[in-house]
Amino acid sequence: MAKRILFLITIFGLLAVSALFAQEKLQKDWKPDKIKGTRFIPYPPYSGTPYFNEKFVLGEIELLDGTKIGNLGIRYSSFQDELIYYNTDIKTQIVIDKISLKGFSYPDELGTKRSFRRQNFDTYLQEERFFEVLSDGNISLLAYRKVDLETCDTSYSKFGLAYMPAYHFYAWSAGKGYTSLKMSRSSLLSKFDKPSQKIVKRLLRKNGIQILDEATFVQAWNLIMQNGLSINF
């Protein structure tokens, strides 16, 4: 009888030690001292999507101290401007504290790297936002991938509400802040004086670039930057 009791005590002791190791491993993998956040509360299921990337993709985050953590399943919410990652150990979606991040990146479905960085939007709101960096340099081209919740016809959504993209684009420099842009030829040309506009038109025509959408606007912007033309900013 005594041997049986001793055996049971040993088994329970081993189980307790095993559980302790498992808990330590969980905390180590989760990196609680690095990735700060709270559990994600799902949004109401209205029509449209509140996310810029609908599915979780493997990406990389950069923390405020410069630490980079890769191979995280991340998803960017354009609706609340927050980054969500899926913790596989606890099978929970976590909203990462925005103030702890410098930025994040991930490859899209075509393999193109999408890079976002946190910046202070220094208007009267004075708020921190994630901006996608479309082109980086002394003057950067940024996109704020905002999604709004708007009323709509009930034939589109039975709730009469839908998530609708409301993207905003900016030229930005550390010295001069933000200037709003539209992804159009006229908006781009308006940032140059009259003599320079002729040079820009000639440059775009020579390279066969017609500004028809966001992608061709970015292509034109990069070409202009490469040729060192001065923007009215």
- 163 residue type, one letter: Y
According to the model, what pLDDT value does residue 33 have?
58
Give CA 153 to chain center in angstroms: 30
- 106 located within any domain: no
Averaged pLDDT for residues 184-197: 94
C-alpha span between 31 and 24 (Å, rounded): 11
The domain of 215 spans 185-233
pLDDT of residue 155: 80
Sign of CA dihedral 107, 104, 74, 72: positive
Residue 139 lies in a domain: no
What span, in angstroms and rounded, lies between the C-alpha atoms of 229 and 231?
Answer: 6
| pLDDT tens profile 155-172 | 877 789 999 999 999 999
Q: What's the mean per-residue pLDDT of the chain?
A: 86
Q: Are strands 113-121 and 101-107 parallel, antiparallel or unpaired?
A: antiparallel
Q: What is the pLDDT of residues 122-164, one digit of tens each?
A: 876 779 999 999 999 999 999 999 999 999 988 877 789 999 9
pLDDT at 23 over 60: no
| Domain count within the chain | 1
Q: Which pLDDT value is given to residue 15?
A: 32
